[in-house]
Homo-oligomer: A and B are copies of this chain.
Amino acid sequence: MARIAVVAGDGIGPEVVAQALKVLDAVLPGVEATQYDLGAARYHRTGEVLPDSVLTELAGHDAILLGAVGDPTVPPGVLERGLLLKLRFAFDQYVNLRPSRLWPGVPGPLANVKPGEVDLVVVREGTEGLYAGAGGSLHRDTPAEVATEESLNTRHGVERVIRDAFARAGRRERRKVTLVHKTNVLTHAGSLWARAFAAVAAEHPDVATEYQHVDAAAMFLVTQPQRYDVVVTDNLFGDILTDIAAAVTGGIGLAASGCINPTGAYPSMFEPVHGSAPDIAGKGVADPVAAVLSAALLLDQLGHADAAARVTGAVAAELAGRTPGVALRTDEVGDRLAAQAVA
């Protein structure tokens, strides 16, 4: 039986995670969920962000389901770096998976894109690049101050995430991978990415490939998001591109993500892309769809592809039946999704 560590977190985190667990339990009865108290509340109470003992306990689970962490009262960066990024790096979650679909029933912002036309997934590298924390500064607070940030890229790290992207593309209908980088400016890292991409592509003659500079990709995600199938890119580019992809498919309120360690050596982590939304917390009006879709990614990763598909299908039905502008109740949506997923 799957053992899930649950970090409900702050704000609307607990509310939406409760629905995701409801749905998980419906499609995989008896799933074992252990709650971990991490986030802004714990930080304020104890000063702790992620104690080593908790990290060790988390490591013993099959997967982690996270709601949202963060609150305006916590200094910026504390929870991001101390919790989210620490888990990604400690558990070597090198595939940061971010699917974007324009679901029928969801009003997207683009006039010329019809529901159902966008169905892409960004495979964002999760353990390297500018997220390595390799920076520094000199002469701080003087006119002579200099600050650096270094992007670190290894063949090991780049090739493994590209392999994952090709494997995913091979299982999809369009079988296409777009590499996004900025090879004309970041020549060293860009060349490494381009050569690793070419090498892996040569092993997958059945998968179509293309390359785009990150600025062009940012533009095309707005003007022609339909053109993408699988996009593979570095950590920071992926951070930016996935928010654009979310924006053109109805907003981060619907976006799911997985920080995946495909080797299984450590647990993967699944979380909605949205934040803790303190303004609507506790009111029971947060949309749990992104959390539930994240649970579907979790199911898929743990080998329950059928259950994942049922959950995704339930979400599709839910969204197709919505009337834009009509308020929802978090728990009612959860009930409907759980029922629909086993119908």
A146, B153: Cβ atoms closer than 8 Å: yes
Q: Which B residue sits closest to A275, measured CB to CB?
A: B216
Q: Which of A111, A148, A156 has the most CB of B within 10 A?
A: A148
CB contact between A185 and one of B80, B146, B155, B218 (< 8 Å): that residue: B80
B191, A147: Cβ atoms closer than 8 Å: yes
- Contact partners of A44 in chain B: CB under 8 A: none
A47 at the interface (CB under 8 A from B): no
A189, B147: Cβ atoms closer than 8 Å: yes
Distance to closest chain B CB from A257 (angstroms): 12
CB contact between A240 and one of B131, B152, B220, B240 (< 8 Å): that residue: B240
A173 at the interface (CB under 8 A from B): no
CA distance in complex: A76, B184 (Å): 6
CA distance in complex: A135, B252 (Å): 34
Distance to closest chain B CB from A286 (angstroms): 18
Known: A112-B109, A145-B192, A218-B244. A184 touches B130 (CB 8 A): no
Known: A148-B151, A219-B247, A243-B216. A141 touches B236 (CB 8 A): no
A34 at the interface (CB under 8 A from B): no
- Contact partners of A214 in chain B: CB under 8 A: 239-240
Q: Which A residues are within 8 Å of any B CB, using their own CB?
A: 76-77, 80-81, 85, 108-112, 130-131, 135-137, 139, 141-156, 182-189, 191-192, 195, 214-216, 218-220, 222-223, 236, 239-244, 246-248, 251-252
